[in-house]
Amino acid sequence: MDKFFLAIACIAVLGVLFALFNGLRAMARGSEEDHKLSQKMMQMRVICQAIALVSLFLAYAAKH
């Protein structure tokens, strides 16, 4: 079961990287539409980070 949670954590980390780079790229462009996209990407990043942390905690708990 711990491998399942580790797989979810890895997918969530990839989501964090995707959202971070797309959010930074949109922020650098600077238009109003890009500002909204940047905000959505940063919200997605926070959600993915939370999922990754919870998954890692559950993987640790399942192993011990």
pLDDT of residue 63: 86
CA–CA separation, 40 vs 6, rounded Å?
26
In order along its 64 residues, the chain shows pLDDT tens digits of 889 999 999 999 999 999 999 999 998 998 888 899 999 999 999 999 999 999 999 999 998 8
CA–CA separation, 52 vs 47, rounded Å?
9
- The pTM (predicted TM-score) of the whole model is 0.86
pLDDT of residue 32: 86
pLDDT of residue 39: 93
